[in-house]
Structure 1
Amino acid sequence: MQIPCTDKELFIFKKVATVAAETNTPAYVVGGFVRDKIIGRATKDIDIVCIGNGIDFANKIADKFKPKPHVTIFKTFGTAQIKLLDTEIEVVGARTESYRNDSRKPEVSPGTLQEDQNRRDFTINALSVSLNKGDYGELIDPFKGVKDLQFKIIRTPLSPEETFSDDPLRMLRAIRFATQLNFTIEANTLQAIVTEKERIRIISKERIADELNKIMLAKRPSVGWDLLFRTGLLEIIFPQMTALAGAENIEGIGHKDNFYHTIQVIDNIAAKTNDLWLRWAALLHDIGKPATKRFEKGHGWTFHGHEIVGAKMVPKIFAQLKLPLNDKMKFVQQLVSLHMRPVSLTKENITDSAIRRLLFDVGENVDDLMTLCEADITSKNPNKVRRYMQNFELVRKRMEEVEQTDRMRNWQPPISGELIMQTFNLVPSKNVGIIKDAIREAILDGEIPNDFDAAFQLMLEKAAALGLKPVP
């Protein structure tokens, strides 16, 4: 075997080779597994191509294992999956494909290994290793994919225009692989993405979102977002992001390019966390700036309220991109809306009340918010960066002090609405809300401690002012 494999993988390949010999069915390891093994990248999935019926071949492979593993069959695609603990084997018959202009779903017919390799998206994914008796372990590389791996190049086996027109998702895959592997997209291949970019419109939003999330989880997501922008794909799939690009200059006063600032923030936060949704919060933190950009004579450029406008945009963007409209979206929305608050707390004479209110508003996500705020520092001036970081460290300490005293994180009011209604024999009404709000504001302003006795006494006072008396 010319590629480095574990004992477990060699054991699996011997089983496949045995079936290939017994059934006179040529079989090969193909695609991403071969690529990742050559470059030393971790991989769990193994793709097998056979010259014949992939589903029948998969069942015969499964028969070689005791106990027999579960085989999942996808008749529509002519593929089968075998799950062996932490390894998943996908088996398919070699095929050739032809495409209609309005769909990325191909007309499929049985083919040779060469035809199967011809249809692969990139040279680095068109590699295969024989599992056959005569040439077991031999690497088959018809498009010099190993050389492209060595020089870190993404290119298509055949014409890139035809490759991308047939299946436009491959344009996003090219950008995703370039981002994940830190490879360069070959010039003709990159130009073909620009030429064929409109074809991306036939791809489902769900498939696009899947590729965007993989870009977001890369070590340096900015590589992918920059490529999406420069190829014109971003304007089609996510125009709100392209609106951030560019910097105007009036009266000799300019502002930073908010697009490139934003993708630097994503890289900054990616160095601290693998949390996908915290990375999305970084991507969207300034999304409201284009709508709020103003030039104030004698002052310069302003983006007042961009965090509020941006937070309102988040649900629509998540729906547009087919991202989950659940707590993940609410988390991103919360961080976008609050990301300017810690900045204001770095100023002198900030009251405990202001700290308390931020802790109340952000709840358990306070550490994520501070991580975002620190990632938002993209200045090239090391002294300025150091000063901002020191200020945020002071905010963290202040929050810890207030939290220890007032227990505001995950705050629950000491007096519930149910207790108010029970005490004064009320039904849900405006008066219940007035009393609850008064207690909350008094605690946040530091007028009373965050405990039951003080809150209960204030409840009685506010109720008396409203003409309410406790039930005997």
Structure 2
Amino acid sequence: MFAALPEEIHELGRAFEAAGHELALVGGPVRDAVLGRSSADLDFTTSARPEQTEAILRSWNRGGGLWDMGREFGTLGAARGDLRVEVTTYRTESYDPTSRKPQVVYGDTLAGDLSRRDFTVNAMAVRLPSLELVDPFDGLADLAAQVLRTPVAPEQSFDDDPLRMMRAVRFVSQLGFAIEEGTAEAIRALADRLAIVSAERIREELVKLLLGAHPRAGLTGMVELGLAPQVLPELPALQLEIDEHHHHKDVYEHSLTVLDQAIALESAPGSGGPCERPDLVLRLAALLHDIGKPATRRFEAGGVVTFRHHDVVGAKMTAKRMKALAFDRDTTKQVARLVELHLRFHGYADSAWTDSAVRRYVTDAGPLLQHLHRLTRADVTTRNKRKARGLARAYDELEARIDELAQQEEIGRIRPDLDGNEIMEILGLAPGREVGEAYRHLLELRMEHGPLGRERAEAELKAWWEAR
């Protein structure tokens, strides 16, 4: 299987060998090749020091790109045509108890380098150019058993790099593997040590987990192993709450089910459709949509439990948590907005909306309308089949009305019939607060009545101005 590597890779192996250095393909690409999967990453490890690696790469890539942002950690990258490789000097690394950054020390042997890898399934290498498989920790056996186990004692491995504990649950999501019990016990014991790892590195692992094939299993692992309080404390907090709409399950289980159902509603990869799989914004919104419930739980007369305004509270909590995890502003804004809007449809299910209400629904969702459609449908987890069918019919009707109005008017981007310049010209105003007030008045009329036409809009504007 490794003989099928591009000829340029075999050439690279011969170049390192000719210079008196070892080179081996390592980690994920080896694992994926054994599993019959393709890997976009080609990661190598070498006995050469960075300055020696650089000289070989510059000769090999024939003037192609070379980058050394990872030189501090012994890593250099190069490109030759469409082929990109990263080569890292044999190394060991560990964390100072008070530091968020790994300390790197170069090593001398391939076996020593492999021993510092996170899991045995990633601690296999293929020497180049000989194509000899090196598997000192029985990674092949663990691959066959679909088990995650550390090459060295798990306590040592996780103490050296606490982020490996998050990688464990990330691989549960991506590969569908189970965590070996001794490894799981070490995570439970050392979960608090994750606090020294930077938010950016934790976020990267969380995103990979959420985009994996089995995110529910990964998230469940986070909670059961005690990692969630360090990463997403709002998630285990949901286990304490009973959902007033779904008495048969707590909000935690409900949220995971909504995530599963939202994923099922994603568009096929490569389809070009909305919410193409995997969709991070949709998955985050599905997971977090009810995190405001613990803060808003109230016990009413007759034993009724309510969570009033948990949508608004949850949106604020979502933004705060995502900011703490160093998510970008745009993703944070989108997810928080979906959380805020996720209950809006329930008013429609009780009684059909006016055209004005439908316009507001579309306008408030904006470019997130397709995400909101999917989140709302996914949020139905009742076991009452009759109720579920009724909600589905109601949402079918709402989507049909949105489509109908879209054919009649530009419902997706509603604007007043007059723009700011026209308002100033008609009323003889200079730019200022009053122009904004007039604009908002006309927008409100447009929402309520649909397109007015220029003549009626001008008359309404003048009437509003005179009444002030």
Match of 1:363 among 362, 366, 371: 366
Larger radius of gyration: 1
Match of 2:224 in 1: 230
Match of 2:195 among 192, 198, 201: 201
Shift of 1:438: 3.0
Change (3 A) 1:39 1:464: same
Q: Secondary structure at the match of 1:90?
A: strand
Q: Within the alignment, does 1:68 sit opposite 2:63 as a pair? A: yes
Cα deviations by residue, 1:279-314 (Å, 9 ceiling, x for unpaired): 222222112111111222236222121111122223
Q: Which piece of structure 1 moves more, 16-25 or 285-294?
A: 16-25
Shift of 1:157: 0.4
Match of 1:38 in 2: 34
User: In 2, are the aligned partners of 1:345 and 1:355 still within 8 Å (CA)?
Assistant: no
Structure 1: 5+ residue stretches without partners: 467-472
Q: Which piece of structure 1 moves more, 303-312 or 423-432?
A: 423-432
Cα deviations by residue, 1:151-180 (Å, 9 ceiling, x for unpaired): 111110010011001100100011111110
Q: Within the alignment, does 1:190 sit opposite 2:193 as a pair? A: no
Give the Cα–Cα distance (whole angstroms) in 1 for the partners of residues 421 and 122 of structure 2: 62
Match of 1:119 in 2: 116
Give the Cα–Cα distance (whole angstroms) in 2 for the partners of residues 414 and 407 of structure 1: 12
User: In 2, are the aligned partners of 1:27 and 1:51 still within 8 Å (CA)?
Assistant: yes
Match of 1:89 among 75, 85, 95: 85
Give the TM-score taking structure 1 as reference length: 0.90
Q: Secondary structure at the match of 2:323?
A: helix
Shift of 1:113: 1.2
User: In 1, are the aligned partners of 2:50 and 2:71 still within 8 Å (CA)?
Assistant: no
Give the Cα–Cα distance (whole angstroms) in 1 for the partners of residues 361 and 27 of structure 2: 50
Give the Cα–Cα distance (whole angstroms) in 2 for the partners of residues 299 and 442 of structure 1: 43
Q: Within the alignment, does 1:138 sit opposite 2:132 as a pair? A: yes
Match of 2:327 in 1: 323
1:43-442 residue pairs with structure 2 within 5 A? 43-65=39-61, 67-73=62-68, 74-103=70-99, 104-132=101-129, 136-248=130-242, 254=247, 256-271=249-264, 272=266, 273-298=277-302, 300-325=304-329, 327-428=330-431, 431-442=434-445
Give the total of aligned pairs.
454
Change (3 A) 1:401 1:72: same
Match of 1:462 in 2: 464
Shift of 1:334: 1.9
Q: Secondary structure at the match of 2:223?
A: helix
Match of 1:452 in 2: 454
Cα deviations by residue, 1:31-83 (Å, 9 ceiling, x for unpaired): 11101111122212112222232442343144134x43222123311221112
Shift of 1:255: 6.7
Q: Which piece of structure 1 moves more, 180-189 or 345-354?
A: 345-354
Shift of 1:428: 4.9
Give the Cα–Cα distance (whole angstroms) in 1 for the partners of residues 60 and 242 of structure 2: 67
Shift of 1:385: 3.3
Q: Which piece of structure 1 moves more, 103-112 or 34-43?
A: 103-112
Q: Secondary structure at the match of 2:240?
A: coil
Give the Cα–Cα distance (whole angstroms) in 2 for the partners of residues 155 and 427 of structure 1: 70
Give the Cα–Cα distance (whole angstroms) in 1 for the partners of residues 13 and 204 of structure 2: 34
Give the Cα–Cα distance (whole angstroms) in 2 for the partners of residues 114 and 12 of structure 1: 25
Change (3 A) 1:410 1:178: same
Q: Residue type of the partner of 2:295?
A: A
Match of 1:470 in 2: none
Give the Cα–Cα distance (whole angstroms) in 1 for the partners of residues 91 and 444 of structure 2: 68
Q: Segments of 4+ in structure 1 off by > 6 A?
A: none
CA root-mean-square deviation: 2.3
User: In 2, are the aligned partners of 1:221 and 1:263 still within 8 Å (CA)?
Assistant: no
Give the Cα–Cα distance (whole angstroms) in 2 for the partners of residues 98 and 313 of structure 1: 34
User: In 1, are the aligned partners of 2:27 and 2:125 still within 8 Å (CA)?
Assistant: yes
User: In 2, are the aligned partners of 1:124 and 1:148 still within 8 Å (CA)?
Assistant: yes
Change (3 A) 1:365 1:450: farther
Shift of 1:344: 1.8
Give the TM-score taking structure 2 as reference length: 0.90
User: In 2, are the aligned partners of 1:247 and 1:254 still within 8 Å (CA)?
Assistant: no
Seq. identity, %: 35
Q: Secondary structure at the match of 2:230?
A: helix
Q: Residue type of the partner of 1:235?
A: P
Give the Cα–Cα distance (whole angstroms) in 2 for the partners of residues 282 and 299 of structure 1: 28
Change (3 A) 1:456 1:87: same
Match of 2:22 among 13, 26, 42: 26
Q: Secondary structure at the match of 2:118?
A: coil
Q: Secondary structure at the match of 2:413?
A: coil
Shift of 1:89: 1.0
Give the Cα–Cα distance (whole angstroms) in 1 for the partners of residues 338 and 260 of structure 2: 17
Cα deviations by residue, 1:208-265 (Å, 9 ceiling, x for unpaired): 1111111111123211211111111111222222222234599xx9573112211222
Change (3 A) 1:431 1:28: closer
Cα deviations by residue, 1:87-140 (Å, 9 ceiling, x for unpaired): 3211122223454333351240332111111111110111011215xxx11211
Give the Cα–Cα distance (whole angstroms) in 1 for the partners of residues 251 and 3 of structure 2: 45
